[in-house]
Amino acid sequence: MKEVIRARGHEHVSADHASTFEVTTDDYLTPAGDCILAIEADRAPADFDPEFVDACRDAEATITVEIEADGHRASVAGRGDPDLEFTNERSAVGRTSDYVDDRTILVDAEFAAEGFDRDLIDALAEGAEATVTLTVE
């Protein structure tokens, strides 16, 4: 099952965060938001299909997030968790830890914002349109 989010980069995308990555519906980004990869997302976790959400609540599920912008593509995998809520209406956050809150879309990610391909991050920092595809298996 898949969910697709359309968003865009911003000049302040730095992707320096060591434990999370985020896509937000907010229309702004400050330099402090070093985990944020894209803004102005057209969807948030609260918008996801209930069947997708249920599949993600399996601790054995593999959840993959692929981000594509300006011909550059990178993906990161993590796992599901029974406590995932998918209720946040602003932000989708992937985490390298097992911490879960209403923004969390996956836990135990292979890497966080700092691990994404730098060519992709450069494109996002130039404001490129982004497609974020979440897949659960």
Q: What is the CATH number of the domain that holds 119?
A: 2.60.120.630
Read off the tokens for 75. 């993906």
Report the number of distinct structural domains present in the chain: 1
At residue 17, the pLDDT reads 97
pLDDT level of residue 98 (50, 70, 90 thresholds): very high
Distances (CA, A) of 30 to 3, 13, 22, 129: 27, 9, 13, 18
Please give the angle made by the CA atoms of 126, 135 and 42, to the nearest 5 degrees. 45
Query: By residue range, what is the domain housing residue 44?
Result: 2-136
The partner residues of 8 in beta bridges, in order of sequence, read 39, 129
* pLDDT digit string, tens, across residues 67-91: 999 999 999 999 999 999 999 999 9
What are 18-53's pLDDT values in tens digits? Answer: 999 999 999 999 999 999 999 999 999 999 999 999
